[in-house]
Amino acid sequence: MHFKQQRFLWIRASIYSILIFAYISVFFHRMAPAVVSAELMSSFRTSATSLGSLAAMYYYIYALMQIPSGVLADTLGNRQSITAGNLIAGIGSIVFATAETIEIASFGRFMVGLGVSVIFVGLMKNNAVWFRDRVYGLVSGFTILMGNLGSVLAAKPLSVLLNFWSWRDIFIAMGLVSLSLAALTALFVRNRPEDAGFPSVREMDGMPSHAERHQHWTKDLFKVVSNIAVWPGFWINFGMAGGLFAFAGLWAIPLLRDSFGMGRDEASLYTTITLISLAIGTLAAGWISDRLGLRKPVIVFSAAIYALAWLAIIFLPWQPGLFAMTLFMLIGISGGGFVVTYPCAKEVTQPALSGMAISLVNTGLFLGAAIMQPLFGWVLDLGWDGKVVNSLNLYSWQNYQQAMLLMLAFAVIAFISALAIKETGCKNMTLEHD
């Protein structure tokens, strides 16, 4: 089989780079409300519950769109769906940035969530067809590590940037970035190696290509949804990744501000530590899983450490400093174990349906975050004593402690679900192995 290896590697790297930059924007939009929470509360004069609902608007539509995103990835293709997603997200970011009322801002967040909802599943589907199965765990970990650069940019760097630009200017700029990525995706991304004139990666290794889909997508979707081996990954993402993203993406900075009197810049350092640790944790979990040739032990261990870390944060006495940074690092690095749910989903499903399986698992993450963000705020408001400082509601440590019990409950859900995960041995269970 003759093809130019260097040309293949160059085109694969170009496609992956464009999609990774789009994925970085997904994480930026997801996490930025934590840093601009005070500005949002001041601009729209809103309570913690309303702020949680505004931030969670992104997660509501993102969660609802995950299964449709998988269908689009498996039928329409990554190029078309991600181009449209970047376009919608770019417009939504500009609407959010220019909103004068919380209703219009919520609509802007809704559009952003709708647009970026197709990017991750499309990227993971891209990885499934452009990379070999034996490195999929590592590639998945590296993908989320790179995506987390967006989270890091939405923490300390964003906090510094707010000293020079308004939050509105920053989100307008991000909208323009997304519009540019839409154009790049349309011009350069290809759905499969075959679309760029190459054999499939399996054919490169002397094996037959995976079978294509031969029935209506609704039947394929039912086949994925009715596969009980996929569902533990859904609940792991719901409890572990969903809770962590809700906390780091909105409530961590207000907790440090209200409970310990930290300024925004100082508090954002702690979320930066969490997000960098999360990025490292995803890469490590994927690499260790591939090296061991096992999935379940990595997920169970990660979920157990994650739950113990929340017990420590809630019940141990701590103050800002090295010990607190260690706790914030621990929830990030252990939370990164959720990445192994994606290869698990792919490996218990027929290869042609991998987009739908990954999207089902990913739905759990965003459903968890969509529920947690406003629920956390509701618990805060429930115990609030009415104290207001500089037009911001001020909550006590006891208020946050009660709300963080929700984080612990979500962590327990993740651990119990990890015990139910099916071990695949890093091989697709639906195939006769070559």
DSSP class of residue 352? G
Element (H, E) at 353: none
What mean pLDDT is predicted for residues 330-342? 95
**Residue with structure tokens 């409300």?**
33
> Per-residue pLDDT averaged across 120-140, rounded?
85
- For the segment 128-153, the average pLDDT, to the nearest whole number, is 83
Q: Give the per-residue pLDDT at 212.
A: 64
CATH class for domain 14-189+217-419?
mainly alpha
More confident residue, 70 or 230: 230
Band the pLDDT of 322: cuts 50, 70, 90: very high
Q: Which amino acid is at 361?
A: V
- The C-alpha atoms of residue 252 and residue 246 are separated, in whole angstroms, by 9
Q: Which residue has the higher pLDDT, 305 or 159?
A: 305
Q: What's the rounded mean pLDDT across residues 215-240? A: 91
Split at pLDDT 50, 70, 90, the class of 124 is confident
What pLDDT sits at residue 63? 81
Distances (CA, A) of 277 to 282, 295, 335: 9, 20, 9
pLDDT at 209: 66
Where are any strands of DSSP class E within 280-394? 388-389, 392-393
* 307: nearest Cα among 205, 417, 207: 417
Instruction: Give the tens place of pLDDT for each residue, 417-431.
Output: 999 999 998 888 877
Q: What is the mean pLDDT of the chain?
A: 88
Q: Indicate if the pLDDT at residue 374 is higher than 60.
A: yes
- Model pLDDT for residues 160-196, shown as the tens digit of each residue: 888 899 999 999 999 999 999 999 999 999 988 888 8
The predicted pLDDT at position 352 comes to 78
What residue ranges do the domains of the chain occupy? Answer: 14-189+217-419
Q: Is the pLDDT of residue 382 over 90?
A: yes
Mean pLDDT of 282-292: 91
DSSP assignment string, 124-161: HHHHHHHS-GGGHHHHHHHHHHHHHHHHHHTTHHHHHH
How much of the chain exceeds pLDDT 90, in percent?
A: 49
Sign of the torsion angle spanned by Cα atoms 347, 352, 356, 358: positive
CA dist 136 → 22, 139, 365 (Å): 20, 5, 20
Answer yes or no: is pLDDT of 222 > 50: yes
Task: Report, as an integer, the average pLDDT of 106-114.
Answer: 92
More confident residue, 51 or 245: 245
- Give the three-state DSSP class for 261: coil
Q: How confident is the model at residue 403 (pLDDT cuts 50, 70, 90)?
A: very high
**Least confident residue range of 40-54, 95-109, 240-254, 343-357:** 40-54
pLDDT band at 388 (very low <50, low <70, confident <90, very high): confident
Return the amino acid letter for 49: T
| pLDDT bucket at 375, cuts 50 / 70 / 90 | very high
Residue 207, pLDDT above cutoff 60 = yes
Q: Indicate the pLDDT class of residue 145, thresholds 50, 70 and 90.
A: confident
Query: Does residue 128 register a pLDDT over 60?
Result: yes
**pLDDT value at position 434?**
47
Q: Tell me, what DSSP letter sits at residue 389?
A: E
pLDDT for 213 equals 56
pLDDT at 134 over 80: no
Distance CA 211, CA 432 (A): 13
